[in-house]
Amino acid sequence: MEHSPDPTPALDSLQVARTVTDALLEGGLREAVIAPGSRSAPLVYALAEAEKAGRVRLHVRIDERVAAFTALGLSLASGRPVGVVTTSGTAVGNLLPALMEADHAGVQLIALTADRPMELQGTGANQTTAQDGIFPLHVRFSQTLSGDVPVPEGSDEIPAWLAAEAARVSGPDADPVAAALREHREHLASTVSRALLAANGFDTEDVEGFGGVPGVAVRESAPGPVHLNLRFRDPLVPDASDVPEPGWDAGAGEELLTGPDGDLVISPVDLSEQLDLEVSRLHEARTVVVAGHGSGPLPAAFASALGLPLFAEPGSNARFGPNAIGAYPLLIGSAGGLGEDSHPLAGRIEQVILFGRPTLTRQVTALLGREDLHTAFHQPEPVAWFVPGSRRERPVEDLEELAVVAGRGPTGWLTDWQRAGHRAQSALDDALATRHDDVGHPGALRTGQLVATTVAGPLVLGSSSVIRDVNLSWRPPTAPASVVYANRGLSGIDGTVSTASGIALATGRRTVLLCGDLTLLHDAGGLLVGPGEAEPDLDIVVVNDRGGAIFAGLEHGEVAGRPGMGPVVERFFGTPHAVDVRALCAAYGVEWAPVTSERDLIAALGLGNPVRGRRVLELRSDRAARPEVRRLVEQAVRDSF
């Protein structure tokens, strides 16, 4: 009779889930978004126990893509790792878009995917596929965990091996199975800790133990997403007599849910300690500072200290103060300062100092690409969006060294730019104030300008046209304004509503999302919030021009003017639709209101009209009129030169 192998000891699924949950919470996770499914039930039950004890806040979304982008928004605004939980199968694949965005944006999104046990892999078992390492190109760390105690290959006599291991770890009298399970739990917790370290950009190769992070001092990479794939074996539900194992005190987590680590306001930076040098001794150079997405307020302080003009994107959160130049893309011109449509000052630029990631304008791209200019990039830590050596800008880590490279603006350099910017901005304002689109409503450019200047809380800008409208039209305020968020990692329109919902939930403040109609429709599922779930305080301002407007401003606009090509461009790039946004909102139980004038928009978004819950403010716009409005604005600005 053939001898059957001895069974390998294993933790049950609830024990695995509770161990993973404890390690996640110990490592700083405070929120998670749950998508329903049976295979992930052990982790859901463990997290529910933790929520009941005040250790974590949970959100439920039925669509995994919506869940992932909601978690991304929570992490983006809080600065903390946030989990998203899914069952096995195609549910896992729905996380990819958010993980890609988190990868390039440096967001700590923790993918927690349930999987079938090893014995079901490759058998045709339902909802079972290869999930181990499914996201290799877009996560900082990936590991599959299970309750099975790993036994070395060739260990035919498992009891003997267990006894030897127990004696080695705990002494000769230790219970072999108990010792093996205890060590395996420590391994699970250690792996989770390593994953969270990797999400924060730290190298985890040499980390031993779990919980603490001895020996890890600097980031080896940018923060980003990680993936923990959890193989759960039946039973997936707690036993009726099961009592949760001791964890933190039930009230210990209350103070952890009071608000985000990220800033709710933009605080100006004081460089007096970081720049220990005499600016008057620096060489003079006609330098400009470019603040791309995610740079923070530092570029504003840097430009101010050195007397340099500042070109700041809205998502930089540096677009304020006297050095910030309005309408700067039109001053630079299409050839990066060397074209006929450029202001004469742009042709005199000698150096460009870059902070953050510039993504919005071809004018800035052309400026940075000019081979006659010296360019430098402030990079104190690794960033997620480029490989070192792949950009022409010289990376400079030390701010003082960067100041030496930049030099100080010569007499008149800043004031000339301020004067040019003021004239250009005034010309743009006048053109927009007198030009409404053909349906009598404020045009898209004017809407972007009004929203940016009116909103007092967090502002989320959809990708595509609206963020460019704000970048072009928003007059830089004298003091820091609202914190601006946008998904500029890969600049997709997918998941924007869900991201904004996560931001609103994380900040606990009334948040405004400005987006186009296609962005809303692409993530319409993000409008669904179940009864009993925390509802974000979110206004969604939708510029509805019944299709995609951005392509008309690209090469496709020229193609559309060719004989017979207009319908082709409209069908495949304009993607027209006839969706009734009001009916869509009614289906999801979201308040809807039309916006037919500037007064309507200002009144709806102003401080005197606080609202709770979600609301869609729909502004109809004429897409066909958009190119002409843009031409009028550009001509008005050129006339101001």
How confident is the model over 186-215, as pLDDT tens digits? 999 999 999 999 999 987 764 443 344 344
Per-residue pLDDT band at 151 (split at 50, 70, 90) = low
- pLDDT for the residue 550: 80
Q: Do 44 and 169 lie in a common domain?
A: yes
In a domain, 396, yes or no: yes
Query: Is residue 355 within 8 Å of 299, Cβ to Cβ?
Result: yes
Domain limits for position 103: 13-237
Residue 326 in tokens: 């309005």
Q: Do 230 and 331 lie in a common domain?
A: no
In a domain, 286, yes or no: yes
**Choice among 234-248, 530-544, 609-623 with the minimum mean pLDDT:** 234-248
- pLDDT for the residue 163: 56
In a domain, 246, yes or no: no
In a domain, 247, yes or no: no
- Neighbouring CB atoms inside 10 A of 3's CB total 6
Q: Do 455 and 410 lie in a common domain?
A: no
How confident is the model over 243-261, as pLDDT tens digits? 665 543 333 333 444 344 5
Q: Which H helix or E strand runs over 79?
A: none
Among candidate residues 353, 383, 417, the one where a domain is terminated: 417
Examine the pLDDT at 536 and tell me if it is beyond 80: yes
- pLDDT for the residue 266: 74
3-state secondary structure of 326: coil
In a domain, 206, yes or no: yes
Examine the pLDDT at 124 and tell me if it is beyond 50: yes
Higher pLDDT, 275 or 463: 463
Higher pLDDT, 241 or 522: 522
How confident is the model over 21-39, as pLDDT tens digits? 999 999 999 999 999 999 9
Residue type, 100: M
Q: Do 405 and 504 lie in a common domain?
A: no
How confident is the model over 53-86, as pLDDT tens digits? 999 999 999 999 999 999 999 999 999 999 999 9
What CATH number does residue 401 fall under? Answer: 3.40.50.1220
Name the E strands within 335-479.
351-355, 374-378, 394-396, 459-461
3-state secondary structure of 230: strand
- pLDDT for the residue 441: 58
Q: Do 337 and 204 lie in a common domain?
A: no
Q: Do 148 and 22 lie in a common domain?
A: yes
Among candidate residues 237, 265, 289, the one where a domain is terminated: 237
How confident is the model over 106-123, as pLDDT tens digits? 999 999 999 998 888 888
Examine the pLDDT at 544 and tell me if it is beyond 80: yes
Q: Do 412 and 488 lie in a common domain?
A: no
DSSP per residue over 347-385, as a string?
A: GG--EEEEESB--S-HHHHHHHT-TTSEEEEE-SS--SS
- pLDDT for the residue 552: 78
- pLDDT for the residue 243: 65
**Choice among 323-327, 371-375, 626-630 with the minimum mean pLDDT:** 626-630
- pLDDT for the residue 171: 58
Q: Do 449 and 368 lie in a common domain?
A: no
Higher pLDDT, 40 or 552: 40
Number of domains in the chain: 3
The answer to whether the predicted template modeling score (pTM) of the entire model surpasses 0.85 is yes
- pLDDT for the residue 247: 47
**Choice among 222-236, 325-339, 365-379, 565-579 with the minimum mean pLDDT:** 565-579
Among candidate residues 417, 446, 476, the one where a domain is terminated: 417
Q: Do 384 and 440 lie in a common domain?
A: no
Mean pLDDT value of segment 302-323: 97
Q: Do 483 and 396 lie in a common domain?
A: no
Nearest to 231 by CA among 82, 47, 11, 25: 11
In a domain, 249, yes or no: no
What CATH number does residue 626 fall under? Answer: 3.40.50.970
- Neighbouring CB atoms inside 10 A of 215's CB total 9
Average pLDDT of every residue of the chain: 88
Q: Do 447 and 356 lie in a common domain?
A: no
Phi-psi map region of 427: left, alpha, beta (phi>0 left; psi -120 to 50 alpha): alpha
Q: Do 208 and 339 lie in a common domain?
A: no
In a domain, 545, yes or no: yes
**Choice among 285-299, 432-446, 458-472 with the minimum mean pLDDT:** 432-446
What letter would DSSP give residue 554? Answer: S
Distance between CA atoms of residues 75 and 338, nearest Å: 41
Distance between CA atoms of residues 424 and 401, nearest Å: 33
Our CA angle for 392, 395, 399, nearest 5°, is 145
How confident is the model over 390-431, as pLDDT tens digits? 889 999 999 999 999 999 999 999 999 999 999 999 999 999
- pLDDT for the residue 7: 61
Distance between CA atoms of residues 484 and 600, nearest Å: 23
Examine the pLDDT at 553 and tell me if it is beyond 80: no
Q: Which H helix or E strand runs over 14?
A: helix 13-26
In a domain, 242, yes or no: no
